[in-house]
Chains A and B, each alone.
Chain A
Amino acid sequence: MNTDDLIAQLAQDPAPAPSARVEARLWPWLAGGLALTAAAFALLLGPRPDLAAALAQPVVAAKTLLPLLLAALALPLALRAVRPGARPGWPARVLWALPLAVVALIALAWLGTPASERMRLFIGHSIHVCLPAITLLSLPPLAGLIAALKRGAPVHPTGAGALAGLAAAGLATALYSTFCIEDSPLFYGVWYSLGIGIATGIGALAGRRWLRW
Protein backbone atom coordinates (compact mmCIF):
# COMPACT_ATOMS: atom_id res chain seq x y z
CA MET A 1 0.00 0.00 0.00
CA ASN A 2 1.06 3.51 -0.79
CA THR A 3 2.12 5.49 2.29
CA ASP A 4 -0.12 8.44 1.41
CA ASP A 5 -3.12 6.13 1.15
CA LEU A 6 -2.25 4.63 4.51
CA ILE A 7 -2.11 8.08 6.08
CA ALA A 8 -5.44 9.03 4.51
CA GLN A 9 -6.94 5.89 5.99
CA LEU A 10 -5.44 6.41 9.46
CA ALA A 11 -6.49 10.05 9.49
CA GLN A 12 -10.12 9.09 9.23
CA ASP A 13 -9.93 8.05 12.87
CA PRO A 14 -8.02 10.88 14.51
CA ALA A 15 -9.09 10.74 18.15
CA PRO A 16 -8.04 7.79 20.32
CA ALA A 17 -10.81 6.11 22.29
CA PRO A 18 -10.79 7.31 25.92
CA SER A 19 -10.96 3.68 27.03
CA ALA A 20 -7.66 2.98 25.27
CA ARG A 21 -5.69 4.78 27.97
CA VAL A 22 -3.53 2.54 30.16
CA GLU A 23 -4.86 4.11 33.34
CA ALA A 24 -8.43 3.35 32.31
CA ARG A 25 -7.75 -0.31 32.80
CA LEU A 26 -5.01 -0.17 35.38
CA TRP A 27 -6.98 0.32 38.57
CA PRO A 28 -9.72 -2.24 37.94
CA TRP A 29 -7.21 -4.87 36.85
CA LEU A 30 -4.79 -4.19 39.67
CA ALA A 31 -7.61 -4.16 42.20
CA GLY A 32 -8.90 -7.45 40.81
CA GLY A 33 -5.48 -9.04 41.15
CA LEU A 34 -5.02 -7.69 44.65
CA ALA A 35 -8.44 -8.98 45.70
CA LEU A 36 -7.43 -12.45 44.59
CA THR A 37 -4.15 -12.19 46.47
CA ALA A 38 -5.88 -10.90 49.60
CA ALA A 39 -8.40 -13.75 49.45
CA ALA A 40 -5.63 -16.34 49.12
CA PHE A 41 -3.75 -14.71 51.96
CA ALA A 42 -6.79 -14.65 54.25
CA LEU A 43 -7.63 -18.23 53.42
CA LEU A 44 -4.17 -19.79 53.69
CA LEU A 45 -2.07 -17.53 55.91
CA GLY A 46 -3.81 -14.72 57.77
CA PRO A 47 -2.20 -11.97 59.82
CA ARG A 48 -0.14 -12.80 62.90
CA PRO A 49 -2.02 -12.44 66.20
CA ASP A 50 0.32 -9.81 67.62
CA LEU A 51 0.35 -7.68 64.46
CA ALA A 52 -0.40 -4.31 66.05
CA ALA A 53 2.25 -4.70 68.74
CA ALA A 54 4.81 -5.98 66.24
CA LEU A 55 4.29 -3.07 63.83
CA ALA A 56 5.03 -0.67 66.67
CA GLN A 57 8.66 -1.76 66.45
CA PRO A 58 10.41 0.14 63.64
CA VAL A 59 12.49 -2.83 62.50
CA VAL A 60 9.35 -4.93 62.15
CA ALA A 61 7.37 -2.12 60.52
CA ALA A 62 10.18 -1.78 57.98
CA LYS A 63 9.46 -5.21 56.58
CA THR A 64 5.96 -4.03 55.66
CA LEU A 65 6.76 -0.43 54.78
CA LEU A 66 9.77 -1.04 52.55
CA PRO A 67 7.84 -3.34 50.19
CA LEU A 68 4.96 -0.85 50.14
CA LEU A 69 7.39 1.90 49.24
CA LEU A 70 8.84 -0.36 46.56
CA ALA A 71 5.39 -0.80 45.04
CA ALA A 72 4.69 2.92 45.27
CA LEU A 73 7.85 3.66 43.29
CA ALA A 74 7.76 0.77 40.83
CA LEU A 75 4.16 1.35 39.80
CA PRO A 76 4.64 4.86 38.38
CA LEU A 77 7.87 3.66 36.78
CA ALA A 78 5.99 0.83 35.08
CA LEU A 79 3.44 3.32 33.81
CA ARG A 80 6.16 5.57 32.45
CA ALA A 81 7.87 2.59 30.87
CA VAL A 82 4.85 2.03 28.63
CA ARG A 83 4.89 5.63 27.35
CA PRO A 84 7.46 5.95 24.57
CA GLY A 85 9.97 8.69 25.17
CA ALA A 86 8.90 9.26 28.80
CA ARG A 87 11.77 9.64 31.25
CA PRO A 88 11.74 7.51 34.41
CA GLY A 89 12.40 10.62 36.51
CA TRP A 90 12.84 10.79 40.24
CA PRO A 91 11.13 7.51 41.24
CA ALA A 92 13.94 5.66 39.44
CA ARG A 93 16.53 7.46 41.52
CA VAL A 94 14.69 6.98 44.80
CA LEU A 95 14.14 3.32 44.00
CA TRP A 96 17.85 2.66 44.41
CA ALA A 97 17.67 3.84 47.98
CA LEU A 98 15.61 0.75 48.85
CA PRO A 99 18.25 -1.93 48.33
CA LEU A 100 20.69 0.33 50.16
CA ALA A 101 18.27 0.61 53.07
CA VAL A 102 17.86 -3.16 53.11
CA VAL A 103 21.62 -3.71 53.12
CA ALA A 104 21.95 -1.19 55.94
CA LEU A 105 19.25 -2.95 57.94
CA ILE A 106 20.95 -6.29 57.44
CA ALA A 107 24.31 -4.86 58.46
CA LEU A 108 22.87 -3.26 61.59
CA ALA A 109 21.09 -6.48 62.53
CA TRP A 110 24.31 -8.39 61.95
CA LEU A 111 26.18 -6.11 64.31
CA GLY A 112 23.38 -6.09 66.85
CA THR A 113 22.98 -9.86 66.97
CA PRO A 114 25.24 -12.13 69.04
CA ALA A 115 27.43 -14.25 66.76
CA SER A 116 25.85 -17.47 67.98
CA GLU A 117 22.37 -16.23 67.03
CA ARG A 118 23.08 -14.88 63.55
CA MET A 119 22.83 -18.12 61.64
CA ARG A 120 19.66 -19.18 63.44
CA LEU A 121 17.91 -15.89 62.67
CA PHE A 122 19.17 -15.86 59.10
CA ILE A 123 17.88 -19.35 58.28
CA GLY A 124 14.75 -18.95 60.41
CA HIS A 125 12.08 -21.60 60.13
CA SER A 126 9.90 -20.50 57.22
CA ILE A 127 11.96 -20.05 54.05
CA HIS A 128 9.92 -22.82 52.47
CA VAL A 129 6.76 -20.77 53.10
CA CYS A 130 8.20 -17.34 52.53
CA LEU A 131 9.67 -17.78 49.05
CA PRO A 132 6.73 -19.58 47.41
CA ALA A 133 4.19 -17.39 49.20
CA ILE A 134 5.76 -14.12 48.03
CA THR A 135 6.13 -15.45 44.52
CA LEU A 136 2.59 -16.84 44.26
CA LEU A 137 0.90 -13.88 45.96
CA SER A 138 2.66 -11.63 43.43
CA LEU A 139 1.17 -13.39 40.45
CA PRO A 140 -2.44 -12.07 40.49
CA PRO A 141 -1.49 -8.37 40.73
CA LEU A 142 1.28 -9.01 38.22
CA ALA A 143 -1.21 -10.52 35.78
CA GLY A 144 -3.52 -7.54 36.28
CA LEU A 145 -0.67 -5.11 35.70
CA ILE A 146 0.55 -6.86 32.58
CA ALA A 147 -2.99 -6.92 31.19
CA ALA A 148 -3.30 -3.19 31.79
CA LEU A 149 0.18 -2.34 30.50
CA LYS A 150 -0.58 -4.14 27.26
CA ARG A 151 -2.52 -1.03 26.31
CA GLY A 152 0.69 0.94 26.52
CA ALA A 153 3.70 0.94 24.24
CA PRO A 154 6.79 -0.16 26.16
CA VAL A 155 9.95 0.33 24.13
CA HIS A 156 11.62 -2.12 26.52
CA PRO A 157 8.97 -4.80 27.10
CA THR A 158 11.23 -6.88 29.35
CA GLY A 159 12.06 -3.92 31.55
CA ALA A 160 8.45 -2.80 31.76
CA GLY A 161 7.48 -6.34 32.77
CA ALA A 162 10.20 -6.37 35.41
CA LEU A 163 8.88 -3.09 36.86
CA ALA A 164 5.39 -4.57 36.94
CA GLY A 165 6.89 -7.57 38.74
CA LEU A 166 8.57 -5.30 41.27
CA ALA A 167 5.34 -3.41 41.93
CA ALA A 168 3.30 -6.60 42.28
CA ALA A 169 5.93 -8.21 44.49
CA GLY A 170 6.07 -5.12 46.69
CA LEU A 171 2.34 -5.32 47.32
CA ALA A 172 2.38 -9.09 47.84
CA THR A 173 5.36 -8.91 50.18
CA ALA A 174 3.82 -6.17 52.28
CA LEU A 175 0.79 -8.37 52.74
CA TYR A 176 2.83 -11.48 53.46
CA SER A 177 4.92 -9.60 56.02
CA THR A 178 1.84 -9.26 58.24
CA PHE A 179 1.74 -13.06 58.51
CA CYS A 180 5.44 -13.69 58.93
CA ILE A 181 6.80 -13.66 62.48
CA GLU A 182 10.47 -13.67 61.55
CA ASP A 183 11.35 -10.16 62.50
CA SER A 184 15.10 -10.01 62.04
CA PRO A 185 16.38 -8.20 58.95
CA LEU A 186 18.84 -11.08 58.75
CA PHE A 187 15.85 -13.14 57.68
CA TYR A 188 13.50 -10.84 55.84
CA GLY A 189 16.17 -8.63 54.33
CA VAL A 190 17.54 -11.64 52.51
CA TRP A 191 14.59 -13.90 51.85
CA TYR A 192 11.97 -11.26 51.05
CA SER A 193 14.45 -9.72 48.64
CA LEU A 194 14.98 -13.07 47.02
CA GLY A 195 11.23 -13.64 46.69
CA ILE A 196 10.80 -10.16 45.21
CA GLY A 197 13.66 -10.93 42.85
CA ILE A 198 11.96 -14.11 41.67
CA ALA A 199 8.67 -12.29 41.07
CA THR A 200 10.53 -9.54 39.21
CA GLY A 201 12.15 -12.14 37.00
CA ILE A 202 8.74 -13.62 36.25
CA GLY A 203 7.52 -10.12 35.44
CA ALA A 204 10.44 -9.61 33.06
CA LEU A 205 9.65 -12.87 31.27
CA ALA A 206 5.97 -11.99 31.14
CA GLY A 207 6.86 -8.59 29.72
CA ARG A 208 9.03 -10.10 27.06
CA ARG A 209 6.28 -12.50 26.16
CA TRP A 210 3.18 -10.31 26.39
CA LEU A 211 4.22 -6.68 26.27
CA ARG A 212 5.62 -6.64 22.77
CA TRP A 213 3.61 -4.69 20.27
Chain B
Amino acid sequence: MTDRNELWGDLLRRGNRGDAAAYGRFLTEAVPVLRNIARARLPGGNAEELEDVVQEVLMAVHAKRHTWRESDPVTPWLYAIARYKCADAARRRLGRGGQGADVPIDDLAEVLPDEAGGEITAARDLGRLLDRIEPRAADIVRGLGIQGESAAEVGSRLGMTEGAVRVAYHRAMQKLRDMADDDMAAGNAVGEVERPGQIKGAGDEPGPTGRRAEAADG
Protein backbone atom coordinates (compact mmCIF):
# COMPACT_ATOMS: atom_id res chain seq x y z
CA MET B 1 0.00 0.00 0.00
CA THR B 2 2.87 2.33 0.82
CA ASP B 3 4.54 1.39 -2.43
CA ARG B 4 1.39 2.13 -4.29
CA ASN B 5 1.03 5.47 -2.56
CA GLU B 6 4.61 6.36 -3.40
CA LEU B 7 4.28 5.30 -7.01
CA TRP B 8 0.93 6.96 -7.55
CA GLY B 9 2.01 10.05 -5.68
CA ASP B 10 5.06 10.27 -7.89
CA LEU B 11 2.97 9.83 -11.05
CA LEU B 12 0.43 12.41 -9.94
CA ARG B 13 3.12 14.92 -8.99
CA ARG B 14 4.63 14.52 -12.42
CA GLY B 15 1.16 14.92 -13.89
CA ASN B 16 0.74 18.15 -11.96
CA ARG B 17 3.86 19.39 -13.73
CA GLY B 18 2.41 18.55 -17.12
CA ASP B 19 3.65 14.99 -17.64
CA ALA B 20 0.76 13.50 -19.62
CA ALA B 21 2.28 10.01 -19.76
CA ALA B 22 2.68 9.83 -15.99
CA TYR B 23 -0.84 11.08 -15.40
CA GLY B 24 -2.24 8.62 -17.94
CA ARG B 25 -0.35 5.80 -16.27
CA PHE B 26 -1.76 6.77 -12.88
CA LEU B 27 -5.30 6.67 -14.25
CA THR B 28 -4.68 3.36 -16.00
CA GLU B 29 -3.25 1.77 -12.87
CA ALA B 30 -6.12 3.09 -10.78
CA VAL B 31 -8.79 1.50 -12.97
CA PRO B 32 -8.61 -2.09 -11.66
CA VAL B 33 -8.77 -0.79 -8.09
CA LEU B 34 -11.70 1.43 -8.98
CA ARG B 35 -13.46 -1.54 -10.57
CA ASN B 36 -13.05 -3.47 -7.33
CA ILE B 37 -14.46 -0.63 -5.31
CA ALA B 38 -17.39 -0.26 -7.69
CA ARG B 39 -18.08 -3.99 -7.59
CA ALA B 40 -18.03 -4.03 -3.80
CA ARG B 41 -20.19 -0.93 -3.48
CA LEU B 42 -22.73 -1.80 -6.13
CA PRO B 43 -23.52 -5.44 -5.54
CA GLY B 44 -25.30 -7.08 -8.41
CA GLY B 45 -24.27 -4.43 -10.89
CA ASN B 46 -23.60 -5.74 -14.36
CA ALA B 47 -20.29 -5.13 -16.10
CA GLU B 48 -21.63 -2.26 -18.16
CA GLU B 49 -23.06 -0.44 -15.16
CA LEU B 50 -19.84 -0.90 -13.21
CA GLU B 51 -17.76 0.38 -16.11
CA ASP B 52 -20.00 3.46 -16.31
CA VAL B 53 -19.36 4.11 -12.64
CA VAL B 54 -15.60 3.59 -13.07
CA GLN B 55 -15.63 6.15 -15.86
CA GLU B 56 -17.59 8.56 -13.70
CA VAL B 57 -14.98 8.16 -10.98
CA LEU B 58 -12.19 8.79 -13.49
CA MET B 59 -13.88 11.97 -14.67
CA ALA B 60 -14.42 13.09 -11.08
CA VAL B 61 -10.77 12.38 -10.26
CA HIS B 62 -9.80 14.45 -13.27
CA ALA B 63 -12.15 17.33 -12.51
CA LYS B 64 -11.10 17.43 -8.85
CA ARG B 65 -7.43 16.55 -9.18
CA HIS B 66 -6.50 19.93 -7.70
CA THR B 67 -7.99 18.78 -4.35
CA TRP B 68 -5.13 16.32 -3.87
CA ARG B 69 -2.18 17.79 -2.01
CA GLU B 70 1.22 16.63 -3.07
CA SER B 71 2.17 15.98 0.54
CA ASP B 72 -0.81 13.67 1.12
CA PRO B 73 -1.03 9.96 0.32
CA VAL B 74 -2.95 9.33 -2.90
CA THR B 75 -5.02 6.30 -1.99
CA PRO B 76 -7.27 7.80 0.73
CA TRP B 77 -8.02 10.65 -1.64
CA LEU B 78 -8.71 8.40 -4.60
CA TYR B 79 -10.81 5.93 -2.63
CA ALA B 80 -12.86 8.71 -1.04
CA ILE B 81 -13.74 10.01 -4.49
CA ALA B 82 -14.56 6.49 -5.67
CA ARG B 83 -16.79 5.83 -2.66
CA TYR B 84 -18.59 9.14 -3.15
CA LYS B 85 -19.31 8.43 -6.79
CA CYS B 86 -20.38 4.87 -6.04
CA ALA B 87 -22.76 6.12 -3.36
CA ASP B 88 -24.10 8.52 -5.94
CA ALA B 89 -24.66 5.70 -8.39
CA ALA B 90 -26.28 3.55 -5.69
CA ARG B 91 -28.62 6.40 -4.82
CA ARG B 92 -29.57 6.84 -8.46
CA ARG B 93 -30.25 3.16 -8.68
CA LEU B 94 -32.45 3.35 -5.58
CA GLY B 95 -34.20 6.39 -6.95
CA ARG B 96 -35.15 4.43 -10.00
CA GLY B 97 -36.28 1.26 -8.27
CA GLY B 98 -36.38 1.88 -4.56
CA GLN B 99 -39.31 1.59 -2.29
CA GLY B 100 -41.52 4.62 -2.17
CA ALA B 101 -39.88 6.11 -5.22
CA ASP B 102 -42.48 7.76 -7.36
CA VAL B 103 -41.66 6.29 -10.74
CA PRO B 104 -43.90 4.68 -13.32
CA ILE B 105 -43.61 0.99 -12.86
CA ASP B 106 -42.61 0.39 -16.46
CA ASP B 107 -39.37 2.26 -15.88
CA LEU B 108 -38.45 -0.62 -13.64
CA ALA B 109 -38.50 -2.98 -16.57
CA GLU B 110 -35.03 -1.74 -17.43
CA VAL B 111 -33.72 -2.11 -13.93
CA LEU B 112 -35.16 -5.35 -12.69
CA PRO B 113 -33.53 -8.38 -14.18
CA ASP B 114 -35.80 -10.60 -16.21
CA GLU B 115 -35.63 -13.45 -13.81
CA ALA B 116 -37.33 -15.89 -16.11
CA GLY B 117 -35.62 -18.50 -18.19
CA GLY B 118 -33.38 -20.04 -15.59
CA GLU B 119 -33.02 -23.73 -15.14
CA ILE B 120 -36.09 -25.21 -13.66
CA THR B 121 -35.63 -27.41 -10.66
CA ALA B 122 -37.64 -28.32 -7.70
CA ALA B 123 -40.84 -27.75 -9.58
CA ARG B 124 -42.65 -30.26 -7.42
CA ASP B 125 -41.74 -28.55 -4.16
CA LEU B 126 -42.22 -25.18 -5.69
CA GLY B 127 -45.74 -26.20 -6.60
CA ARG B 128 -46.41 -26.92 -2.96
CA LEU B 129 -45.12 -23.52 -1.94
CA LEU B 130 -47.03 -21.82 -4.72
CA ASP B 131 -50.31 -23.07 -3.29
CA ARG B 132 -49.54 -20.95 -0.25
CA ILE B 133 -49.19 -17.59 -1.99
CA GLU B 134 -51.65 -15.35 -3.74
CA PRO B 135 -53.12 -17.07 -6.84
CA ARG B 136 -52.21 -14.26 -9.21
CA ALA B 137 -48.63 -14.12 -7.96
CA ALA B 138 -48.45 -17.89 -8.22
CA ASP B 139 -49.71 -17.65 -11.77
CA ILE B 140 -46.92 -15.20 -12.61
CA VAL B 141 -44.28 -17.41 -11.04
CA ARG B 142 -45.61 -20.43 -12.94
CA GLY B 143 -45.60 -18.50 -16.19
CA LEU B 144 -42.16 -16.96 -15.86
CA GLY B 145 -40.33 -19.48 -13.78
CA ILE B 146 -41.80 -22.83 -14.82
CA GLN B 147 -43.34 -22.46 -18.25
CA GLY B 148 -40.60 -20.16 -19.40
CA GLU B 149 -42.87 -17.45 -20.73
CA SER B 150 -41.47 -13.96 -21.05
CA ALA B 151 -42.64 -11.14 -18.80
CA ALA B 152 -44.38 -9.57 -21.78
CA GLU B 153 -46.32 -12.74 -22.54
CA VAL B 154 -47.46 -13.19 -18.97
CA GLY B 155 -48.33 -9.51 -18.86
CA SER B 156 -50.53 -9.66 -21.92
CA ARG B 157 -52.25 -12.76 -20.56
CA LEU B 158 -52.99 -11.12 -17.20
CA GLY B 159 -53.54 -7.61 -18.48
CA MET B 160 -50.49 -6.23 -16.69
CA THR B 161 -47.56 -4.25 -17.99
CA GLU B 162 -44.25 -5.98 -18.39
CA GLY B 163 -42.74 -3.93 -15.59
CA ALA B 164 -45.58 -4.79 -13.23
CA VAL B 165 -45.13 -8.47 -13.99
CA ARG B 166 -41.44 -8.30 -13.17
CA VAL B 167 -42.12 -6.47 -9.95
CA ALA B 168 -44.77 -8.97 -8.92
CA TYR B 169 -42.49 -11.86 -9.90
CA HIS B 170 -39.63 -10.41 -7.96
CA ARG B 171 -41.77 -10.00 -4.85
CA ALA B 172 -43.29 -13.43 -5.16
CA MET B 173 -39.85 -15.02 -5.49
CA GLN B 174 -38.72 -13.16 -2.42
CA LYS B 175 -41.71 -14.46 -0.54
CA LEU B 176 -41.13 -18.01 -1.72
CA ARG B 177 -37.51 -17.83 -0.70
CA ASP B 178 -38.54 -16.63 2.73
CA MET B 179 -41.07 -19.41 3.01
CA ALA B 180 -38.51 -22.00 1.97
CA ASP B 181 -36.09 -20.59 4.50
CA ASP B 182 -38.75 -20.80 7.18
CA ASP B 183 -39.48 -24.38 6.27
CA MET B 184 -35.83 -25.26 6.46
CA ALA B 185 -35.43 -23.42 9.70
CA ALA B 186 -38.39 -25.29 11.07
CA GLY B 187 -36.50 -28.44 10.24
CA ASN B 188 -39.18 -30.08 8.18
CA ALA B 189 -38.19 -31.47 4.87
CA VAL B 190 -34.58 -30.48 4.71
CA GLY B 191 -33.35 -31.90 1.45
CA GLU B 192 -36.86 -32.31 0.26
CA VAL B 193 -37.91 -28.74 -0.25
CA GLU B 194 -35.37 -27.27 -2.55
CA ARG B 195 -35.16 -23.58 -2.36
CA PRO B 196 -36.89 -21.90 -5.24
CA GLY B 197 -33.91 -19.57 -5.26
CA GLN B 198 -32.36 -22.06 -7.63
CA ILE B 199 -34.80 -21.15 -10.33
CA LYS B 200 -33.36 -17.71 -10.51
CA GLY B 201 -30.54 -16.49 -12.64
CA ALA B 202 -30.58 -16.96 -16.38
CA GLY B 203 -27.01 -17.90 -17.14
CA ASP B 204 -25.79 -15.87 -14.19
CA GLU B 205 -23.04 -17.23 -12.08
CA PRO B 206 -24.63 -18.98 -9.14
CA GLY B 207 -25.44 -16.33 -6.60
CA PRO B 208 -24.80 -16.73 -2.92
CA THR B 209 -28.39 -17.88 -2.52
CA GLY B 210 -27.89 -20.76 -4.90
CA ARG B 211 -24.62 -21.74 -3.33
CA ARG B 212 -26.10 -21.78 0.11
CA ALA B 213 -28.96 -23.95 -1.07
CA GLU B 214 -26.51 -26.45 -2.51
CA ALA B 215 -24.62 -26.57 0.72
CA ALA B 216 -27.83 -27.23 2.58
CA ASP B 217 -28.68 -30.02 0.22
CA GLY B 218 -25.33 -31.72 0.46
Q: Which of B21, B55, B60 has the most CB of A within 10 A?
A: B55
CB distance from B86 to the nearest CB of A (A): 11
Given A15-B18, A152-B67: A84 and B80 interface contact (C-beta under 8 Å): yes
Is B81 touching A7 in the complex (CB atoms < 8 A)? no
Is A14 touching B16 in the complex (CB atoms < 8 A)? yes
Give the number of chain B interface residues (Cβ < 8 Å): 38
Q: Which chain B residue has the least Cβ–Cβ distance from A22?
A: B67
Q: Which chain A residue has the least Cβ–Cβ distance from B30?
A: A7
B132 within 8 A of A: no
Residues from chain A with a CB closer than 8 A to the CB of B78 are 84-85
Q: Which chain B residue has the least Cβ–Cβ distance from A157?
A: B84
From A10, A13, A153, B58 is in contact (CB under 8 Å) with A10
Segment 1-50 of A: residues with Cβ below 8 Å from B: 1, 3-4, 6-8, 10-17, 20-22
Is B64 touching A17 in the complex (CB atoms < 8 A)? no
Is B55 touching A83 in the complex (CB atoms < 8 A)? no
| Contact string against A for B residues 48-74, beta-carbon threshold 8 Å, 1 for contact and 0 otherwise | 000100110011101111111100110
Given A11-B23, A16-B65, A83-B77: A3 and B58 interface contact (C-beta under 8 Å): yes
Chain A residues in contact with chain B, CB under 8 A?
Answer: 1, 3-4, 6-8, 10-17, 20-22, 82-86, 151-153, 155, 213
9 extra A-B contacts, CB within 8 A, seeds A17-B66, A83-B69, A84-B67 = A3-B54, A7-B24, A10-B62, A14-B15, A84-B78, A85-B75, A85-B80, A155-B81, A213-B60
Name 21 A/B residue pairs within 8 A (Cβ), A-sorted. A3-B54, A7-B27, A8-B24, A11-B27, A13-B20, A15-B16, A15-B17, A15-B18, A83-B69, A84-B80, A84-B84, A85-B72, A85-B77, A85-B78, A85-B79, A86-B77, A151-B66, A153-B60, A153-B81, A155-B81, A155-B83
